[in-house]
Amino acid sequence: RGTAVPILLLLLLGTAPARAQPSCLHFPELLPTKLKELRLKFEEIKDYFQSKDDDLSIQLLSSDLLEEIKGRLGCRSVSEMMGFYMEEVLPSAM
C-alpha cells in the first residue's frame, strides 16, 4: 500500500542541507526522538488508512522537488513537514 511515511523517511535520509541554518543546528540531535514519535502515531492509524488506499498511481514527490529538498531547502523543510504531520495531520486522523 502507498503511504507518505516511506516518502518522508526517504526525504530524511536523503536530506543534506547546503549550510547550517539556526533552526537546523539541533535537528540531528532531535531527529531520533521525532522519528520515534512519528512512527508511534503512524502505527495507531496506518491500518485504517492503508485499507482505504486503493489508488497507487499518485506521485507524492517529483524528482525536481526531491532535488530542491536535498539541496537548498534542506533540514528546515523536513523539520517543518514533520511538525505539520505531528501537530495537524496525525492528531486529526486519530
C-alpha–C-alpha distance, residues 94 and 58, integer Å: 23
Prediction pTM value: 0.40
Greater pLDDT, 82 or 15: 82
Could you state, in order of their start, the residue ranges of all structural domains in the chain?
Answer: 4-93
The C-alpha atoms of residue 65 and residue 31 are separated, in whole angstroms, by 22
d(CA 76, CA 22): 9
pLDDT single digits (tens) 43-66: 888 888 778 777 766 766 677 777
* pLDDT tens figures, 29-46: 877 888 888 888 888 888
Provide CB contacts within 8 A for 75, sequence distance 6+: 15, 17, 21, 24, 27
